[in-house]
Structure 1
């Protein structure tokens, strides 16, 4: 049975990819994201046998049912004449044929660069294109797309209430267009004319993730981070320690006691008033109990690399200077997390939220966050308060993060029995 315009227009996405056949090798492929692609399946002799091949005919609604059938019929005529449509497409690449469409070029750009990305980021990126761009610009020759064409797509996303997603799409499309220029598919990047078109970014403090399943995916993305091992280890340790960025980045090996599983941060590097720092010069400002997982990263992953340096996380250009806050932030962005989704400081808020939800005492959590005690008298004497409770909490926290990373968020139960 052949398709109708109404069927194509109204078909809904499901958990798995759907295929609706029209006949003659033409079918509509509906992705779980909602994107709709026209495909043509055919057989052609090659390498001593008949091979089954598939070609994209564009995306719906950019290519309607009538146009998709016309493309199918043309390809069937080519096959009847002994011409392989796939070979013909390759031979006309860059001359305005579908091989030079935005979708084709974008997928080529994605394929050629994905080896440098974390798998989770690679998947997230192509899904954004499939959901928001390919249905409207996918079948257009990439060199014919103008700034107003792209603006229409961005405004559609922004008007649906997803301004930050629109900004991400603008950035991704700009990368695709610049790739197209480099490869000769286009003469200019239309996204460059749209700088500032979506308005100024509104800064949000402590953007973070607190939904357990999403936290698990964040931890998986960190493990897959394709950058340097020092930066990856810093990202892995950041949620285990949940200290401030400067305290983490400037950590020194002589502050760590891996036998007794403690990190003693000197008062000089703590966030407090200058007069208080001067009064307590040379003292330990904060103790971070080290979970087994943290000791393993420090001992097995970092010490062989930086153990001869004073700094645990030295930069690439100088072993005497720590990695910068921008380095960690850029790593999150490279993993696909925007400033509205996750920040390094947001890891502290993430830990606080989830630890409270797991039932740990607020005073224990606040002490581990190194928040100043509002009771001045009590604050003078609480430098080691709840240390044993904090040891148990930090190990339980590391175990909990390991469960989330393994995708077992739904199996975790509150651990308030350890809160006392």
Structure 2
């Protein structure tokens, strides 16, 4: 007959003194306290698994109270009844806890970033990592990804907002959501807390690139002429070509002379230099035909006499091996007195609205000259086949309109 063991009392445990040799105070059902010669009071449990006696450790008193030790004993008995080895279960939990601690947000974020590198342009990849390193990692980077709370992420994002960087906070929230999704798919957490934050950040009002209106065009042309003496000759030509051709700034200033035939007046920009051609995933491989007016061709021939010995239409003044920087166009606009009123991209918006309003060309024709994305390959092929002649006429009409406007208003 099994010996009946009287459960321990808190007073017994408190009054237990060390002896020369370790001794045990039994509580029943395999649980006991071992008192060591140095006075440590350790919770132990003997349990038989597969006909073998196992010793479980539940911690040290008073860190683990009598009630907690009994709860752990009861849990071990339930595990045994369910066919689970409590010792192995404890080791597994310890391993999982260590893995969670090792899988910090920064570690997972860098894995996600490395995994996505092939889908981004180098500049995009660099910017994403730099933003994480500056704003996110110092706040929550060392925390296990599974332990981060809504409040911790909210506090991190609001700190970014507090300096007025609302758009950056919004983008970082989106990237954090992608990182948490990556962690979920790898079994490292079970909730995407960034996706839950739908009403936390202040809404960001989307703006447009600064651009003058059609009504302001005569004054802009006058300012352009008045400031010619203050501008480097290639920069003056670049401004006029931006107005005549309304290309994206990079598409103009990064042009090599090899793309242009000054004899025939043909200019074809290879697809991989176009905005959508630079996409890492599914790039648009359509070359862009730049339809030019006589005025634009005359400017290019004048430019060739200045920079024709260089690779670039607009070589950088400090390093001729590189093209002119975007900042040169913005600086020229600033010198004209149009800071925050006009941008390089503003020439495109100005041309779109004015050509449709004053010259009455269809939106599709102007849109194709702007090299906007086409819905599908059929649309793209149709545009090339049907719009090229119309675009050539439109670009000449646009140049003539600007000349007439300048002659009558200035």
Band of TM-score, shorter chain: 0.3 to 0.5
Q: Which has the higher contact order (CA 8 A, sep 6+)?
A: 1
Q: TM-score normalised to the size of structure 2?
A: 0.46
